[in-house]
C-alpha cells in the first residue's frame, strides 16, 4: 500500500513538473511576432557549464557561439528562454513607391583595395561597404545588426553643365538615359565610364554610388539666328522705300559679299540627336544645350559666312545663284554635324538682307523683265483665246451637222419601223384566218368522229346484250329454264320458298301438310 502511495505521489510530482514547464514555456519563453516584423536573436552563452566562445568580430555568431544569429525568425510564435537568449522584435524595411533603398553592409571582411561596392544580395554578402544593388519599392526582411537601409528619392548633382541623376530616376517619353558607371562591375564585364547602351523611357532605381544617369532629350529641335528689325516710335517695324524691313546692323549672320557690300541673313536649323548617338553627345559636349551653343550656332554662322562671302550681292539676290547658295550651305552643314553624331533635318536660309542701293536697281530690272514677260504672256494668251474661240465655232458647226444628221437618221428609222409594223400586222391577220379555218375543220372532224363513236357504241351494246341472252340460253340448255331463272331473279329476297315432292294424284293430300304456311281455299260446303 505504501508503494502505491509513493507511485501516486511521484506521478503527481511529474505532472506538476510538466505543468510548470508548460506554464513557464507559454508565459516566459514565448515570443509572438506580428506580420511585418521579425525576431532577432543573440545567444548569451551557458550559465555554468559549457565553454563561452565569442563570435568573430564583425561577423554573425555560428552555432554555439555567443553573439547575434544571422537568420531572423518570421511572424508567428517562437519559444526562446530569456536566460540564454536576448530577443528583439524588429520591423521590416519598407521602400515606398518613388523611393530607393541603398544598403550598407556592416559585417564582413574589408573590401579589396580599389573597390568600394559590395556584390551580392541581403544575407549573402561577404564584405563591408555599400551594396551595389539598389532596392526598389517593396518590403525587405534584413537583419539590422548587419545591414543599414538609406531611403532616398531623387538625387541630382550638377557637374559643369550636366545634371547627374540617381535614386528614383524617371525618364519621360521623348528622352533616353545615358548611364555613367562610377565603378566597374567584374561580374557583368562593365567598365567605369559612359556606356554606349542607353535606357529607354521608364522608372529606374539607381544606386548613386555605382552609376549616374543623364536624361537626354532625343528627336528634332529648332535653332534660329535672326536679324533684328528697327522699330518705329509706335512699336511697328520700320520699312524702307521699297517696303522691306530695316535691319539692325551687326545682328543675325552678317558678312561682306565679295563685291564689298554688308550682308545680313536669317538662318534656321532643324536638328536633333538620335538615341544611338546620345552617349557620344554626353561624352563630347555634356548636354543638348551645350550642343546648340558649341556646335549648331557657331557652325551655322561660320558656314553661312564662308559660302556667302564667295558670292556678290547680286548673286545672293538672284533666284538661281541664291538657290545654289542654299543647297551648298545646307549640304556642308549636314556633313559637319554628321561627323559629330548630330542629325540635320533642314538647314534653311530664310531671308537675306541686301543693301537698298544694290537691291533697288536689281529689283527694278527684275520688275521690268517681269513686266515684259507679262506683256508677252498676255499676247500669247490673246492668241490662244482667239484660237480657242475659232475652235468653239467649229465645234458648234459640227454639232449642228450632227444634230441634222441625227434627225434624218431618226426619221428613216421611224419610217422603216412603221413599214415593218404594217407588214407584221397583215401577216398576223393571214395567220389568224388560217388558224380559224383549221379550227373549223377540226370541229367538223370532231362531230363526225363523235357520231360514229356513239353509233358504234350503241351497236356494240346491243350486240353485247344479244350475246348475253344467247350465252344464258346455252347455259340453261332450255329457253323455258332460262325464263324461270329470270322469274326467280325478279322475286324479292324476303320470299320463303319450299320445295315439296308430290306424287301423281297426291297433290291435294300433300297440300294438307303445308296448311300452316300456305292458306288454302276451303271447299264449298254447307254453311254452319
- The whole-number pLDDT of residue 292 equals 93
Which tops the pLDDT comparison, 507 or 236? 236
**pLDDT score of 178:** 95
| CA–CA distances in Å: residue 292 to residues 44, 220, 332, 334, 450 | 68, 12, 17, 14, 123
Q: What is the pLDDT of residue 518?
A: 47
SS3 of the chain: helix, strand, coil, percent, to 5 = 45, 25, 30
Q: What is the CATH code for 219-354?
A: 3.30.479.30
Contact 214, 159 (CB under 8 A): no
User: Cα torsion at 70, 74, 77, 80 (round to 10°)?
Assistant: 10
Residues whose CB falls within 8 Å of the CB of residue 270, separated by 6 or more in sequence, listed in order: 220, 221, 222, 344, 345, 346, 347, 348
- Res 177 pLDDT > 90: yes
Res 443: pLDDT? 83
CA-CA distances (angstroms) from residue 187 to 120, 182, 192, 231?
11, 15, 13, 66
Question: Predicted confidence band at 272 (pLDDT cuts at 50, 70, 90)?
Answer: very high
User: Is the Cβ–Cβ distance between 93 and 101 less than 8 Å?
Assistant: yes
What is the 3-class SS of 175-186, one letter each residue?
EEEEEEECCCEC
pLDDT greater than 80 at residue 508: no
Mean pLDDT to the nearest integer, 191-206:
93
Distance CA 329, CA 304 (A): 6
**Where residue 358 falls among pLDDT bands split at 50, 70, 90?**
confident
Helices within 84-233 (DSSP H only): none
Q: What is the band of 247 on the pLDDT scale with cuts at 50, 70, 90?
A: confident
Between helix 479-490 and helix 356-476 the angle, nearest 10°, is 120
Higher pLDDT, 182 or 367: 182
pLDDT at 149: 93
Judged against a pLDDT cut of 80, whether residue 363 lies above it is answered with no
Q: What is the rounded (10 degree) CA torsion for 480, 482, 483, 486? A: 160
The helix (H) or strand (E) run that includes residue 12 is helix 2-24
| 314-340 pLDDT tens trace | 888 777 888 899 999 999 999 999 999
Which residue bears the cell 554610388?
209
| Mean pLDDT rounded to a whole number for the chain | 84
Residues of each domain in the chain carrying CATH 3.30.479.30? 219-354
Sign (positive or negative) of CA dihedral 479, 484, 485, 486? positive
Task: Say which range, 80-84, 304-308, 366-370, 401-405, has the weakest mean pLDDT.
Answer: 366-370
What residues form DSSP beta bridges with 352?
A: 265
Can you give the pLDDT at residue 384?
86
Query: Per residue in 138-164, pLDDT tens?
Result: 999 999 999 999 999 988 988 888 899
Q: How far is CA 496 from the centre of its chain?
A: 109
Residue 263 pLDDT > 50, yes or no? yes
Q: How far is 160 from 294, CA to CA, in rounded Å? A: 14
pLDDT in tens, 89-148: 999 999 999 999 999 999 999 988 888 899 989 988 999 999 999 999 999 999 999 999
- Over residues 409-419, the mean pLDDT reads 85
**What is residue 277's DSSP assignment?**
G
Residue bearing the bigger pLDDT, 437 or 494: 437
Look at residue 181 in the predicted model and tell me its pLDDT: 92
* CA atoms of 9 and 457, how far apart (whole Å): 144
CA dihedral (293, 294, 297, 301) positive or negative: positive
φ/ψ of 26, rounded to 5, equals -90, -10
SS3 sequence, 119-142? Answer: CCCCCCCCECEEEEEEECCEEECC
Q: Tell me whether residue 55 is exposed, middle or buried, using C-beta atoms within 10 angstroms of its C-beta: 0 to 12, 13 to 18, 19 or more.
A: middle
Task: Determine the Cα–Cα distance for residues 111 and 127; give it in Å rounded to an integer.
Answer: 6
Lowest mean pLDDT, pick from 190-194, 354-358, 462-466, 473-477: 473-477
pLDDT digit string, tens, across residues 514-527: 555 445 455 555 54
Listed in sequence order, the residues at least 6 apart from 130 whose beta carbon sits closer than 8 Å to its beta carbon are: 102, 103, 104, 105, 116, 117, 118, 207, 209
Measuring CA to CA, which residue among 235, 256, 351 is closest to residue 308? 256
> If residue 300 lies in a helix (H) or strand (E), which one and from where to where?
helix 297-308
Amino acid at each position: 500500500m505504501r508503494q502505491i502511495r509513493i507511485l501516486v505521489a511521484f506521478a503527481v510530482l511529474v505532472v506538476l513538473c510538466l505543468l510548470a514547464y508548460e506554464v513557464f514555456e507559454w508565459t516566459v519563453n514565448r515570443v509572438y511576432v506580428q506580420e511585418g516584423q521579425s525576431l532577432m536573436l543573440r545567444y548569451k552563452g551557458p550559465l555554468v557549464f559549457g565553454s563561452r566562445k565569442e563570435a568573430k568580430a564583425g561577423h554573425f555568431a555560428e552555432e554555439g557561439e555567443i553573439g547575434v544569429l544571422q537568420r531572423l525568425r518570421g511572424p508567428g510564435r517562437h519559444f526562446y528562454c530569456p536566460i540564454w537568449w536576448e530577443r528583439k522584435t524588429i520591423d521590416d524595411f519598407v521602400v515606398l513607391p518613388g523611393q530607393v533603398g541603398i544598403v550598407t553592409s556592416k559585417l564582413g571582411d574589408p573590401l579589396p583595395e580599389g573597390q568600394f561596392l559590395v556584390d551580392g544580395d541581403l544575407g549573402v554578402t561577404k564584405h563591408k561597404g555599400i551594396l551595389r544593388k539598389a532596392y526598389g519599392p517593396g518590403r525587405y526582411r534584413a537583419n539590422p545588426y548587419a545591414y543599414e537601409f538609406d531611403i532616398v528619392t531623387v538625387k541630382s548633382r550638377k557637374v559643369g553643365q550636366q545634371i547627374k541623376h540617381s535614386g528614383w530616376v524617371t525618364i519621360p517619353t521623348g528622352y533616353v538615359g545615358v548611364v555613367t558607371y562610377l565603378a566597374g562591375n567584374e561580374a557583368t564585364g562593365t567598365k567605369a565610364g559612359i556606356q554606349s547602351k542607353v535606357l529607354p523611357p521608364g522608372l529606374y532605381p539607381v544606386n548613386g554610388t555605382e552609376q549616374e544617369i543623364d536624361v537626354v532629350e532625343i528627336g528634332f529641335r529648332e535653332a534660329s539666328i535672326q536679324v533684328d528689325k528697327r522699330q518705329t516710335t509706335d512699336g511697328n517695324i520700320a520699312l524702307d522705300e521699297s517696303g522691306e524691313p530695316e535691319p539692325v546692323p551687326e545682328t543675325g549672320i552678317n558678312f561682306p559679299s565679295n563685291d564689298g557690300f554688308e550682308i545680313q541673313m536669317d538662318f534656321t536649323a532643324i536638328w536633333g540627336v538620335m538615341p544611338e548617338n546620345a552617349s557620344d553627345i554626353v561624352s563630347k559636349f555634356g548636354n543638348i544645350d551645350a550642343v546648340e551653343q558649341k556646335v549648331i550656332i557657331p557652325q551655322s554662322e561660320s558656314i553661312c559666312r564662308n559660302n556667302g562671302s564667295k558670292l556678290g550681292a547680286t548673286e545672293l539676290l538672284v533666284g538661281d545663284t541664291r538657290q545654289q547658295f542654299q543647297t551648298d550651305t545646307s549640304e556642308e552643314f549636314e556633313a559637319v554635324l554628321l561627323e559629330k553624331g548630330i542629325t540635320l533635318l533642314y538647314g534653311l536660309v530664310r531671308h537675306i538682307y541686301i543693301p537698298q542701293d544694290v537691291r533697288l536697281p536689281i529689283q527694278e530690272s527684275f520688275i521690268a523683265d517681269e513686266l515684259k514677260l507679262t506683256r508677252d504672256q498676255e499676247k500669247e494668251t490673246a492668241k490662244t483665246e482667239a484660237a480657242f474661240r475659232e475652235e468653239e465655232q467649229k465645234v458648234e458647226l459640227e454639232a449642228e451637222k450632227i444634230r441634222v444628221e441625227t434627225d434624218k437618221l431618226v426619221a428613216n428609222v421611224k419610217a422603216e419601223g412603221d413599214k415593218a409594223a404594217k407588214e407584221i400586222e397583215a401577216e398576223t391577220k393571214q395567220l389568224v384566218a388560217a388558224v380559224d379555218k383549221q379550227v373549223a375543220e377540226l370541229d367538223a372532224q370532231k362531230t363526225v368522229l363523235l357520231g360514229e363513236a356513239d353509233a358504234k357504241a350503241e351497236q356494240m351494246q346491243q350486240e353485247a346484250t344479244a350475246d348475253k341472252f344467247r350465252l344464258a340460253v346455252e347455259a340453261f340448255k332450255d329457253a323455258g329454264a332460262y325464263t324461270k331463272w329470270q322469274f326467280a331473279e325478279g322475286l324479292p329476297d324476303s320470299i320463303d320458298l319450299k320445295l315439296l315432292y308430290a306424287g301423281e294424284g297426291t297433290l291435294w293430300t300433300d297440300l294438307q301438310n303445308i296448311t300452316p304456311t300456305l292458306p288454302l281455299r276451303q271447299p264449298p260446303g254447307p254453311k254452319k
